[in-house]
Amino acid sequence: MGLSLRYKILVVFTLIAISLLLIIFTKKTADTDDTLKLKIEEPPKQTADLSNIKLNLSAEIDSVLYSYGIKKEWIKNKNLNVPSSKDSQKKKEKVKQSDVQLKSDLWFDKEIILPTDIPQAELNLSITHLLNSKALNSTVREDAKTRNLSIDIFAVSDSTKKITAKMKFTTSAEINREEITVCIIIDNIENRSKEEREKILRFPDRFSILMPTNIENAEVQNEIKDSKKDFLIELTVGSEKDETADLATYMREKDWKAKVKSYYYEFSKASGIILLNPSKEYLFENNIRNEFQKLGMNILTESLYDYFRTTLSDSTKISVLLKEITEKAKKTNKPIIYISEFTFTEFEIFANEIIPLKRKGYKFINYSDYLKKATLIQENKTQERQDK
């Protein structure tokens, strides 16, 4: 009997313990579910401040257009207001009430004329990125005949896609962006490591190399030739005392002429030759120039190019160089040619930093491209004179 009582008491306590555990477990599960619910719930989406966007969007669109070299006079902002009392009654009658209402609701309605060399796909992408950053979207329509584009802009949050702004792009061959041509010639590439040289020579950008001419750099010469990159050579004209000069007045005529021919045979594919004349032996330099030109080689005049020498490095150096280029572009419509030394890192920075300039219409070419362009211009001038 005593054993049975003790057994019953044990069972009762066990059941009570189990009940307590179940209550605790159930509460924790409920708390966990509430926690999960709180974590899953998304924060309310912020509504775009359309009034502020409306205030600034037109100017921001214009900034994108300017970054592609599009001039202010090529951008027409159509008048969105209802015709004033000064307008003739005839004009008023032609304006439908629905059109007036639509126009008055628009933020802006732009008509943009584009020169033919504008990369339209890239321009459209830039505009799309701007619109997306403002919680706006757009639809683009292309005229099958004219290839002109129309862009309708609307708020992403508007399910009805009500048009808030319009743009129309028309291409014309009668307008041109300012033509700015830049040629970069890389100097002292032999001072770079083999790995750096290979990386520079693999760059897809168009530029030229100043080829070292001494026999000690035969490996570098072969690397440049194998890369098929455009190259020039640089020779020093010296006086009787300049024994280190490539061509000097102490040489007999047949000797320096023979040396000119040896340079021609060794570097016949050079697009140009730079003659340095620190001793100011101008008569001798002129004789050398004539001898090279007889062989069909191009000699750069000193006024055609500039050396960019600086103790600066990396991004600071490139910033200064690009500033010089853009400042010079404001003062001349002639091609800008700079000779400068670059590390691979500097040239990589340079290639990235000129992207906005390319977008604006700057053309970066090599020296061979420059010669072809100069020849074509001269031929056109000759033809114009003959036609008169």
Domain presence at residue 300: yes
Cα distances from 295 to residues 80, 242, 248, 263, 265, in angstroms, run 67, 26, 20, 11, 10
Q: Are 278 and 309 in contact (CB under 8 A)?
A: no
- How many domains does the structure of the chain reveal? 2
Same domain? 269 vs 152: no
CATH of the domain at 232: 3.20.20.370
Residue at which a domain ends, from 121, 140, 172: 172
Same domain? 373 vs 242: yes
> What is the pLDDT, as a whole number, of residue 14?
67
CATH of the domain at 62: 3.30.460
Same domain? 214 vs 330: yes
> What is the pLDDT, as a whole number, of residue 82?
42
Domain presence at residue 16: no
Report the alpha-carbon distance of residue 238 to residue 233 in Å, rounded: 16
Same domain? 240 vs 353: yes
Same domain? 184 vs 166: no
Domain presence at residue 15: no
Overall pTM > 0.75: yes
Same domain? 332 vs 214: yes
Kindly report the backbone phi and psi dihedral angles of residue 248, in degrees, each rounded to the nearest multiple of 5, phi listed first: -135, 160
Same domain? 145 vs 199: no
Domain presence at residue 8: no
Same domain? 65 vs 203: no
Residue at which a domain ends, from 172, 193, 223: 172
Secondary structure letter of residue 48 according to DSSP = P
**Separation of CA 219 from chain center:** 33
Same domain? 130 vs 194: no
Domain presence at residue 324: yes
Domain presence at residue 109: yes
**Environment class of 153 (CB within 10 Å of its CB; exposed 0-12, middle 13-18, buried 19+):** buried
Same domain? 191 vs 275: yes
Same domain? 211 vs 316: yes
> What is the pLDDT, as a whole number, of residue 97?
46
Residue at which a domain ends, from 126, 146, 172: 172
Domain presence at residue 331: yes
> What is the pLDDT, as a whole number, of residue 374?
87
- One digit per residue, pLDDT tens: the chain, 388 residues? 454 666 666 655 666 666 666 666 555 554 544 443 334 344 344 445 788 898 899 999 999 999 999 999 999 998 765 444 444 445 545 545 444 444 568 999 999 999 999 999 999 999 999 999 999 999 999 888 888 999 999 999 888 999 999 999 999 999 999 889 999 999 999 999 999 999 999 999 999 999 999 999 999 999 999 999 999 999 999 998 888 999 999 999 999 999 999 999 999 999 999 999 999 999 999 999 999 999 999 999 989 999 999 999 999 999 999 999 999 999 998 999 999 999 999 999 999 999 999 999 999 999 999 999 888 877 777 777 777 6
> What is the pLDDT, as a whole number, of residue 175?
95
Same domain? 148 vs 296: no
In which domain, by residue range, is 72 found? 50-81+96-172
Domain presence at residue 187: yes
